[in-house]
Amino acid sequence: MSAILPKPRQLVQSPAILEGLKVLIISDAINNLTKRINLTLKQLKVGTTVTACGNGSAMENAVKHSQPDVIVCPFLTKYIPETIWRSEERPCLVFHPGIVGDRGPSSIDWAIRQQAESWGGTLLQASEVMDGGDIWSTANFPLKADATKTGVYCGEISDVAADAIVDGLMKFRLGIPPTPLDYTDPDVKGCLLPSMKSSDRKINWDMSAEEICRIIRCSDTQPGAIASLTFSEDGTRRAETYRVFGAFQESGLHKDVQDVLGAGTPGSVVGKKQGAVLVSTGDRQGVWITCMKRNKRLSIKLPATSVLPASTVASLPDLTNVSSHSEIWLKQQGPVCYVHFDFYNGAMDSRQGAELAMVLKQVAKMSHVKVVVLMGGSRFFSTGIHLCQIEASGDPAKEANNNINKINDVILAMSQMRDKLVVAALEGNAGAGGAMMAAAADVVVSAQGVLLSPAYRSMGLCGSEYWTHFLPRRVGRDTAYELMYARPDPLLAEEARSLGLVDHVLGRNKHEFQEMLPGFVENLASATSWNKTVQEKFKTRNSDWFDRLSLHRQRELHAMEQCFNSAAFQKERQKFVYKLNDEQLVDAAQENPSLKWKGQNTQEASVYISLD
């Protein structure tokens, strides 16, 4: 007989149930999911303590110090000590990114690789068997055919985790026990799966483009699929192995595309476009590789054309105008124009910023368009400047300055649309310059659970993107200072709305946001508020207004020049791009002298921009 599996939102949602509960959140690292869970519980007036634990002893010390009512582990791959999971004094709830019964560290990877039609997340009671405890709450969702591992984790899994953890804590408060895991139950579809090995991530280019894309997507963004690529360098054919990311199947029928694919052997690089390279496959369909890195220590993930030899890239045919794949595309529905810019991991480099600004200037000329909706990507709206490209450049300070100016040009192009309502639609997280770009829109609408991280300070920067103009006008002067200088933590969309950084929050998750957004935008296009906003923009955005905006940009960039030349920016940038902590960075600099600071400013950047 089938048991009824416990699902979120079956109970009456009463936030007062959780008020005053003391929760210790333990994770491998304080990732975005951990941050979201912490902020979600704080909104419900739960007392939280968050800690990253590298081993069982650290977990035991955290429990002893915190003395919580409940332990929650939203992102934990390490074994939990028996002293914790066997305790009757306090339950330990572990979130697993898999359907009921699924076990193992590569759950999402296998779901994508094996073409699962649906997947899910499960909140379990910690037990002797990892991922094998009783079930507090679980929920499933359709798995998109083009899903990536990180896309699912940051999207549907994040939504399920937030709902399931709140649901599990409510059941604990109400004295409702978890449901035992029973593998004889026909509704339990999961099983123990092995850790995905490097051999499982190795690409055989004789396979179909569809299958190759699945291997890359199930390995994206970490650790990446392993691919041997064949190309010509200075007239000599050679092959080299890389980690590859960001795969898109070429579906175009243009003769130029078909000709290069037909002429190439499987695994050969045959074309380029917007930093990506096209690789021939066994079925002659072709796969676009967006990003790559060399398969060795201290290598950086970069646009594919920045990793291959320069002579190789120069010799490749440019398929920009004939390929089916594009980073930036428009979708028009009557008076509404949706502008999608799906940059890998949300980072926008100088080339991408220039192209997006150019597209926005073209949209500005479309007289029939009343509302422009900036969509960003599904995983991230935008995360600002491209730190990997900056690190890999010959002059990081110069490239950082160029990069920030290109993003500023995007925001200037938005601001110049006086006859249109500009909407920023946040389906994914927005950080630093990406959050400020959204703040510059006339209307900001967000999915529930999106994280906004306005501050730049963690990277040793004081910020640009006209934040000194647009942010205070949204949240007030004092709150703007607090967000930028005194509060490094991200905001949930709901809190951002209460502050004025976000105007509307749609739906309970990203799926509902996608369904509700078109109707919401249509209403904006027809509402009287459209006339009011556009009339106000025509009235106020005159030459004097743009002169003042230019002064804000100049002051910001003057301060940022100091930041870009600081030791703080180099150190934090390198920690980010090489995935190292402070101690590891010092060791890496001994191995690689290019990581040592060479500038004149060896002090930590401490630059503040006055709003006066």
Q: What is the pLDDT of residues 400-443, one digit of tens each?
A: 999 999 999 999 999 999 999 999 999 999 999 999 999 999 99
Q: What is the pLDDT of residues 431-441, one digit of tens each?
A: 999 999 999 99
Average pLDDT over residues 146-171: 96
Q: Which amino acid is at 56?
A: G
pLDDT above 90 (res 606): no
Average pLDDT over residues 164-169: 97
Q: What is the pLDDT of residues 342-373, one digit of tens each?
A: 999 999 999 999 999 999 999 999 999 999 99
Distances (CA, A) of 190 to 38, 97, 590: 28, 12, 47
The rounded mean pLDDT for the chain is: 94
Distances (CA, A) of 464 to 126, 181, 364, 470, 558: 45, 52, 23, 11, 10
Average pLDDT over residues 509-522: 96
Could you give the residue ranges of the DSSP H alpha helices within 476-566?
A: 477-481, 493-499, 510-526, 528-540, 543-564
Backbone angles phi, psi at 246, to 5 degrees: 65, 70
**What DSSP element (H or E) covers 443?**
strand 443-447
Distances (CA, A) of 314 to 257, 268, 447: 17, 15, 42
Chain centre to alpha carbon of residue 167: 25
Burial class (CB in 10 A: 0-12, 13-18, 19+), 383: buried
Nearest 5°: the CA angle 579, 342, 390 is: 40
Yes or no: say if 350 and 406 are a contact pair by the CB < 8 Å rule. Answer: yes
Cis (ω within 30 of 0) for the bond into 48?
no
Average pLDDT over residues 309-325: 95
Write down the pLDDT at residue 265. 96
Taking only Cα atoms into account, the Rg of the chain, rounded to an integer number of angstroms, comes to 25
Average pLDDT over residues 129-142: 96
Q: What is the pLDDT of residues 52-81, one digit of tens each?
A: 999 999 999 999 999 999 999 999 999 999
Average pLDDT over residues 145-165: 96
Chain centre to alpha carbon of residue 529: 32
Q: Which residue has the higher pLDDT, 114 or 7?
A: 114
What percent of the chain is predicted at pLDDT more than 70? Answer: 97
DSSP single-letter state for residue 527 = S
Distances (CA, A) of 354 to 88, 351, 357, 389: 59, 5, 5, 15
3-state DSSP assignment of residue 273: strand
Yes or no: say if 301 and 239 are a contact pair by the CB < 8 Å rule. Answer: no
Backbone angles phi, psi at 104, to 5 degrees: 120, 160
Distance CA(325)–CA(309), nearest Å, equals 23
| Topology given in CATH for the domain delimited by 15-174 | Rossmann fold (3.40.50)
Yes or no: say if 65 and 167 are a contact pair by the CB < 8 Å rule. Answer: no
Write down the pLDDT at residue 607. 61
Average pLDDT over residues 486-503: 94
* Per-residue tokens: 81: 């000590």
Nearest to 224 by CA among 148, 119, 121, 116: 148
DSSP single-letter state for residue 371 = E
Write down the pLDDT at residue 610. 67
Cis (ω within 30 of 0) for the bond into 488?
no
pLDDT above 60 (res 604): no
pLDDT above 60 (res 601): no
Nearest to 548 by CA among 469, 446, 602: 469
Write down the pLDDT at residue 527. 77
Q: What phi-psi label fits residue 389: left (phi over 0), alpha (psi between -120 and 50 degrees) or beta?
A: alpha
**What DSSP element (H or E) covers 75?**
strand 70-75
Q: What is the pLDDT of residues 530-566, one digit of tens each?
A: 999 999 999 999 999 999 999 999 999 999 999 999 9
Yes or no: say if 463 and 409 are a contact pair by the CB < 8 Å rule. Answer: no
Q: What is the pTM of this model?
A: 0.95
Distance CA(411)–CA(439), nearest Å, equals 10
Burial 171-191 (b: 16+ CB within 10 A, else e): bbbeeeebbebbeebeebebe
- Residues pairing with 269 in the sheet: 279
Distance CA(527)–CA(529), nearest Å, equals 5
Question: Which of 10-14, 66-70, 216-220, 532-536 shows the lowest per-residue confidence on average (mean pLDDT)?
Answer: 10-14
| Topology given in CATH for the domain delimited by 328-564 | 2-enoyl-CoA Hydratase; Chain A, domain 1 (3.90.226)
* Per-residue tokens: 214: 């699945």
- The domain ranges of the chain are 15-174, 198-315, 328-564
pLDDT above 60 (res 494): yes
Write down the pLDDT at residue 605. 44
Please report which confidence band the pLDDT of residue 526 belongs to, taking 50, 70 and 90 as the band edges. Answer: confident
Bridge-based pairing of strands 336-341 and 380-382 is unpaired
Q: What is the pLDDT of residues 444-487, one digit of tens each?
A: 999 999 999 999 989 999 999 999 999 999 999 999 999 998 88
Class of domain 198-315 as given by CATH? alpha beta
Distance CA(100)–CA(184), nearest Å, equals 12
Q: Edge-to-edge strand order for the sheet containing 336-341?
A: 328-333, 336-341, 371-376, 421-426, 443-447, 504-506
Average pLDDT over residues 271-285: 96
Write down the pLDDT at residue 487. 83
Write down the pLDDT at residue 611. 66
Question: Which of 12-26, 299-313, 392-406, 548-562 shows the lowest per-residue confidence on average (mean pLDDT)?
Answer: 12-26
DSSP single-letter state for residue 267 = T
Q: What is the pLDDT of residues 372-389, one digit of tens each?
A: 999 999 999 999 999 999
3-state DSSP assignment of residue 253: coil
Backbone angles phi, psi at 421, to 5 degrees: -90, 125
* Per-residue tokens: 230: 């064949």
Yes or no: say if 119 and 152 are a contact pair by the CB < 8 Å rule. Answer: yes
Please report which confidence band the pLDDT of residue 489 belongs to, taking 50, 70 and 90 as the band edges. Answer: confident
pLDDT above 80 (res 15): no
Write down the pLDDT at residue 595. 79
DSSP single-letter state for residue 265 = P
